[in-house]
Amino acid sequence: MGELSLNNLTIRYGGTTVVRNFNLEVRNGEMVSLLGPSGAGKTTVLKSVAGLIKPHAGEISIDGLPVTNLPPEKRNAVMVFQKSLLFPFMNVAQNIAFGLRMQGRRQDAQVQKKIRDIMQLTELSGLERRKVHELSGGQQQRVSLARALVLKPAILLLDEPLSNLDANLRQQMRELIQDIQTETGITTLFVTHDQAEALMMSHRVGLLLGGRLRQVGEPRMLFHQPADPEVARFFGGCNFIQGRIKNGHFQSEFATVQTNQENGNGHPVTATIRPEDVIISSNSNYDLQGEIQKANFEGSATRIWVQCKGNRFVVLTSDANFSPGQQVGLHLPPEKIRIFPSEEDFV
């Protein structure tokens, strides 16, 4: 088993509240990512679960048992840090076995098999006698991960373990961690500021902004159905349209969309559409006409800024044949437009 429950956590540093009324349930065998910018409180939450920080209010439970007041070694949760924090005077096998040694386990045949199995799982076989300085950055992080996994904790806590790796190695490690989590079924809480990392690796994602958990859900939900404009902005939303609800429709000068919004006629609201959902054409009969202000080629796509009336739209398209100053038409598919509740509903 490995179920984690965080109820109404509030954590302060001095007089500053860095995490406020935080609630999250991580189910057995699930990988959940805490996503957010630097300073959002992600690592603070992780450290509170590990027992390195005591919350000022709220309760932490693992497998239904309160652990808020227990020391780290009594919690059955292990944390892997951003830096590998390996012992330089030990070889790979000795580093991996360190936690078992601290638990009083003798280096018998059973323990040796555990170490061999976990080294195979983390793709470290054959490196048993290597010293830390003889390892690459990715290998060091795999040793750190193996040291945690060999203890078979109920909860695995990962604090941005890939942030110091180059892009190619980071992608390899993402896939490795995902494969290990799938194979072992270990319940994992993963902290990252990288959107792609969170969306790719997680069963669910929790977005933390300013110490508050703004939305929790499956990756596709947060990406395509953000709860509010701030969540949309974090996931790359940059096209926001002001309009009003009239007779069951969102109406603006750019689009009219049917909505289930229950606010009365004339109520002002905000809507958004993702850049990749806007359709652009050079010889179009679309109602929206505008002029390209800027076009950036980004490899597999081109990002285009188009001024239409009083609004500037950002478009992401695979067609690279657009240039600044060009007149174009835009189409905003109604089914791709996300309408938010009014701001007063967020209060």
Residues of the chain with pLDDT under 50: 344-347
Are 72 and 182 part of one and the same domain? yes
Are 143 and 48 part of one and the same domain? yes
Are 295 and 346 part of one and the same domain? no
Are 169 and 263 part of one and the same domain? no
Instruction: Please give the pLDDT value at position 335.
Output: 86
Nearest to 13 by CA among 44, 50, 52: 44
Instruction: Please give the pLDDT value at position 347.
Output: 39
Domain limit, last residue, from 229, 245, 260: 229
Nearest to 76 by CA among 154, 4, 188, 159: 154
Instruction: Please give the pLDDT value at position 269.
Output: 85
Three-state secondary-structure class, residue 58: strand
Are 115 and 190 part of one and the same domain? yes
Q: Residue 225 sits in a domain of what CATH number?
A: 3.40.50.300
Are 247 and 291 part of one and the same domain? no
Q: Residue 278 sits in a domain of what CATH number?
A: 2.40.50.100
48 — alpha (psi -120 to 50), left (phi > 0) or beta? alpha
Rounded Cα distance between 303 and 312, Å, is: 13
Are 71 and 179 part of one and the same domain? yes
Are 65 and 209 part of one and the same domain? yes
Instruction: Please give the pLDDT value at position 344.
Output: 47
Tens-digit pLDDT profile for residues 251-262: 888 777 777 655
Are 266 and 299 part of one and the same domain? no
Instruction: Please give the pLDDT value at position 330.
Output: 92
Instruction: Please give the pLDDT value at position 245.
Output: 81
Rounded Cα distance between 189 and 281, Å, is: 44
The number of folded domains in the chain is: 3
Domain limit, last residue, from 213, 229, 245: 229
Instruction: Please give the pLDDT value at position 303.
Output: 96
Domain limit, last residue, from 229, 263, 294: 229
Are 279 and 268 part of one and the same domain? no
Quote the domain boundaries for residue 295.
274-331
- Yes or no: say if 294 and 304 are a contact pair by the CB < 8 Å rule: yes
Residues 6 or more apart in contact with residue 313 via CB below 8 angstroms: 239, 275, 278, 290, 305, 306, 330
Are 222 and 312 part of one and the same domain? no
Are 191 and 242 part of one and the same domain? no
